[in-house]
Structure 1
Amino acid sequence: MTYENKKILSFSVLTFTKAELDELGDDLTALIATMSYAANEISTMQLLYISNSGVVPADKDIYFRWAIQKHTLIRILNAKVFEAIFGFSEYKKTLERRGLHKSLEFLAKIFEQIDDMKHAPGYNYSKAIRDKATNHYSPANTKKNMKYVSARADKRMIHHEKTGNSFHPIGEEYVFMAQVNATANTHNVQSEEVMNEWIDWTIRSLRTLSKAFDDLLIQVVTEVLPHKYLELKKPYVELPLVCNLTTSALPLFFESTMP
């Protein structure tokens, strides 16, 4: 194995034996696996969002493609935040059934953080966008919001011969930006405020929930399996796979046809 053009990363690894999973039981194993699954999805989407933020294109048309990518990633991350919030209520039921009092005390602090998130300025804006313009492709809602489409909206469809390189500003303007404008109208604020608070609330909430997932997972495991310990691993990772916040860039286009 060659170590050139590689970087060493340090990880703390917790490995379960079959006997330990039996001791945890199906309910706690399912809880740990589900929380781990949610944490995986959130961290993956966070990396994509960070990569999108690294390089901002100068060309006006390409900037719109970049903005569509950014908004799409934030919409997905925002939806994950709400799924995570709902999930913690289910986790509480499992912990109560098992009588894990220390973990419940820990979870109570997480609920306090979630309550703070719900009272933050961006919560209502985020919920409106999540309910109307995330994971929903409804012509009826688009028609309803057409009166909120800006007079300056970009009404083009931009086609490229290679699959995946086409992008359509009219879709972003009529579905997403119109919903942002509608939300601003409902709350009697500027659309720019809705957009900024939506992004800020999503990113702040993700930081809170990512730490909550990691800390609660460790708390539950150590309460049930106090003998468990973390094993240090230091793998070599290819440099292109390690993100630099200032120079990384998520691709906008493919030179060849998508597989």
Structure 2
Amino acid sequence: MDEKALVHLLSYGLTWEKLRRIPEEHLAALSVISYAASELNALRRIYLTQPHEPCDVKPVDSAASIQKLVILRSWSSKLFEVAEFVEFGGRKPTTSDSKLLALSSRAVESFSELKSGEGYQVARIVRHEASNHYSFSAAKKNLPNVPKNMDCDFYVGEMGGNSFFPLGEAVMFHARLSRKWAAIEPSEQRQKLFEEWLDWCLKASRWVDEVHADFADQLLFEAFKDRKFKKKVYWVPLEYVGHHSEHTTPVFLKKEP
């Protein structure tokens, strides 16, 4: 028999028929914030399972860095998308619902505490120029700031998914940070700023967790006070469960034997 692992979850049972009893705007808002919270939790898990220690083989380290950073950039940028979404009660409200406006106000106020520090500034740059958009003008601005020691080789793997081209990462990401941090030396200090960005992502993710909990409490649990969370236990294939220190996402795929 295949090995299995136990997964423990708390389940709040609902049906679409019951959810349709919630006011349409409440259900729409709850759906968006739930979508965002699930995506961000998935990205956090995936980021943790990346190889984080260099192996001192240039192409391998380049491929691993690209894989790790594309996840971090996506994670970081989606946090801004959540912050933008919860502003539906801002200067130009898109709803007149008092409960939604109160939720928006609390979310915006708590996010304002995250709008400072180098981590936030890097997250903004990444969102606008190095994640959701492929910008020709940004590339031209970045060209003079490419670090001289960057790997700019082209690597083509036998399998298409194993191909990678560090030139793009050098110009669109690393050079953009170099442009921002032009006056900052040495590299250890830049590494500290990079870590501040990661720390900001973690703090902002906790903010999303709190916002989602607030939305769920006001829009869902208040509507179904008779329902409770129930403990659930599931047996799942062993490869679905693991500690991030023991399970690493492959950087290269190999053909089936």
Bin for the TM-score computed over the shorter chain: 0.7 to 0.9
Who is 1:256 aligned against?
Answer: 255
- Matched letter for residue 77 of structure 2: A
> Alpha-carbon deviation of 1:255?
0.7
Question: Within 5 A, what are the aligned runs for 1:111-130?
Answer: 111-130=108-127
Who is 1:244 aligned against?
Answer: 243
- Matched letter for residue 73 of structure 1: I
Name the one with the larger helix percent.
Answer: 1
> Alpha-carbon deviation of 1:116?
1.1
- Counterpart of 1:236 in 2: which secondary structure? strand
Question: Within 5 A, what are the aligned runs for 1:55-204?
Answer: 56-90=54-88, 97-100=96-99, 104=102, 108-185=105-182, 188-190=183-185, 191-204=190-203
Structure 1, unmatched stretches of 5+, are: none
> Alpha-carbon deviation of 1:65?
1.0
- Matched letter for residue 59 of structure 1: V
1:81–1:206 CA contact under 8 A, matched in 2: yes
Change (3 A) 1:119 1:63: same
- RMSD across aligned C-alpha pairs, in angstroms? 2.6
- Matched letter for residue 42 of structure 2: T
> Alpha-carbon deviation of 1:122?
1.3
Cα distance between partner residues in 1 of 2:166 and 2:17:
55
TM-score (norm. length: structure 2):
0.85
Change (3 A) 1:151 1:17: closer
2:152–2:167 CA contact under 8 A, matched in 1: yes
- For 1:200-239, what per-residue CA distance to the aligned partner results, in whole angstroms no more than 9, with x for missing partners? 2122212331343244323421222222222322111222
Cα distance between partner residues in 2 of 1:34 and 1:197:
28
Who is 2:27 aligned against?
Answer: 29
- Counterpart of 2:162 in 1: which secondary structure? coil
Structure 2, unmatched stretches of 5+, are: none
Cα distance between partner residues in 2 of 1:251 and 1:70:
11
Say which of 32, 44, 49 aligns to 2:42. 44
2:7–2:235 CA contact under 8 A, matched in 1: yes
Cα distance between partner residues in 2 of 1:153 and 1:66:
14
> Alpha-carbon deviation of 1:98?
3.9
Change (3 A) 1:18 1:73: closer
Q: How many residues align?
A: 250
Cα distance between partner residues in 2 of 1:76 and 1:135:
8
- For 1:126-146, what per-residue CA distance to the aligned partner results, in whole angstroms no more than 9, with x for missing partners? 101221111222233212210
Cα distance between partner residues in 1 of 2:104 and 2:62:
41
TM-score (norm. length: structure 1):
0.85
Who is 2:204 aligned against?
Answer: 205
